[in-house]
Amino acid sequence: MHDIRAIRENPDAFDAALAKRGLSGVSAQVLEIDEARRARIHAAETAQAEQNKASKEVGAAKASGDEAEFERLRALVGEKKAEVAAMQAEAKELDAKLNDLLMGIPNLPLDDVPLGDDEEDNVEIRRWGTPKTFDFAPKEHYELEGVKPGMDFETAAKLSGSRFVVLSGAVARVHRALAQFMIDTHVDENGLSETWTPVLVRDEMMQGTGQLPKFGEDSYQTTNGWWLVPTAEVTLTNIVNGVVVEESYLPRRYVAHTQCFRSEAGSAGRDTAGMLRQHQFEKVEMVSITHPDASLEELDRMTACAQGILEKLGLPYRTVVLCTGDMGFGARKTHDIEVWLPGQNMYREISSCSVCGDFQARRMNARFKPEGGGKPQHVHTLNGSGLAVGRALIAVLENGQQADGSVVLPEALHGYLGGKSVISAEGVLR
């Protein structure tokens, strides 16, 4: 959410930043409502002062026996009281309208974010590892002989419909091992605080991180009003919702492994084969709450944490800075990490690390007290996948595939698999 004072003070800069996202004339809409709201507030305050003055004079008129003046003043008090109520009601209505408008405006991109319309305009900033050369045509994960016994889309469709999967046996165990490996690495080596949070949240929590009101169709809501989280970003970030922390509390770095749920409303027809894009999936999510001066450095740190997981797994990847047209609603700058999938012969997103500045903090009213005194300031928030577990599974399976359909597993997972290192062509861990 944006600071209305900043828009008033420099509407041209606000519009110039939003123009990079393809939006124009937004400040005029905002300021028109804001000016009308402030006019009603001023009118209510003026009428209130006149009502108070008349109320004091009523008694004096009564005491002096001036009945005509008494009646005039009494009528004036009633008139001003009604005027105050009307102006306050209008101001409240305009305030709600302004809040709704501000809630629907995306974050302002940082100056160094590349301009562009879509993913074709993203800018690569890092590449690690060399994609393996196979002496056979590599297959996609769901086509591998050793994977087929443990990846059942037919049963999942019977249970739940499309975009679900039932994992079993060796594949299920590798999936679980990946999540444990990620959490352990982030806690033991990266200094993140392991957290376990609900997957059902209230409207206010989804509003706090920007999923509502604009993107409700992308998530699932229960019949009693809870929302299933699309990512643990929602719960981890909202830990500081409505809280004023001490500056010494910062930074806070959380990590959680949770189920996530997305309707994929905006991606109909995309990636329908395999388990690349599912309605229910698991993700290890990182969230940082920082001092405003430290958030850009924290973005680089968070990105390195996610990249480190792929390096330990020996999975080639590239990192890109998203352009203005491809960046998410709440982000000021985003690093996408794309892992190499030989079955598709391309890099695919496996992590997205974003700095949001004070955009989410304003929606949540999350602040800190400066150590040197002064008014509380809004914290900065960041979020990133560390990593998407299902996509990591896909990458491990495809990059480790052998000609006979077996899969050689990364050494980093052996300890989580009882020392076993291969999924055989029959789908057995060996």
160 is an annotated ligand-binding site residue? no
Q: What is the DSSP letter of 216?
A: G
Distances (CA, A) of 320 to 59, 130, 186, 283, 339: 74, 17, 22, 20, 11
383 is an annotated ligand-binding site residue? yes
Annotated catalytic, 50?
A: no
Annotated catalytic, 126?
A: no
90 is an annotated ligand-binding site residue? no
The rounded distance, in Å, linking the Cα atoms of 47 and 122 is: 56
Given the residues 79, 90, 311, 349, select the one marked as catalytic.
Answer: 349
Given the residues 262, 301, 363, 367, select the one marked as catalytic.
Answer: 262
Judged by DSSP in three states, 91 sits in: helix
The rounded distance, in Å, linking the Cα atoms of 330 and 16 is: 17
262 is an annotated ligand-binding site residue? yes
Given the residues 277, 318, 348, 362, select the one marked as catalytic.
Answer: 277
CA 230 to chain centre: 9
Annotated catalytic, 391?
A: yes
349 is an annotated ligand-binding site residue? yes
352 is an annotated ligand-binding site residue? yes
354 is an annotated ligand-binding site residue? no
Dihedral class, residue 164 (left if φ above 0, else alpha if ψ from -120 to 50, else beta): beta
The rounded distance, in Å, linking the Cα atoms of 116 and 334 is: 14
Phi, psi of 317 (to 5 degrees): -150, 170
27 is an annotated ligand-binding site residue? no
Annotated catalytic, 277?
A: yes
Given the residues 288, 352, 354, 406, select the one marked as catalytic.
Answer: 352
Q: What is the DSSP letter of 129?
A: S
One-character DSSP codes across 387-424? EEHHHHHHHHHHHTB-TTS-EEPPHHHHGGGTT--EE-
Given the residues 391, 398, 406, 424, select the one marked as catalytic.
Answer: 391
232 is an annotated ligand-binding site residue? yes
Annotated catalytic, 38?
A: no
Alpha helices for 218-355 (secondary structure H): 233-237, 295-313
The rounded distance, in Å, linking the Cα atoms of 280 and 262 is: 7
8 A C-beta contact, residue 314 and residue 346: no
267 is an annotated ligand-binding site residue? no
| Strand partners for 228 | 200, 220
Residue 371: exposure state from Cβ atoms within 10 A (0-12, 13-18, ≥19): exposed
351 is an annotated ligand-binding site residue? yes
Binding residues: 231-233, 262-264, 285, 349-352, 383, 385
Binding residues for ATP: 262-264, 349-352
Q: Which residues are known to be catalytic?
A: 262, 277, 349, 352, 391
Binding residues for L-serine: 231-233, 262, 285, 383, 385
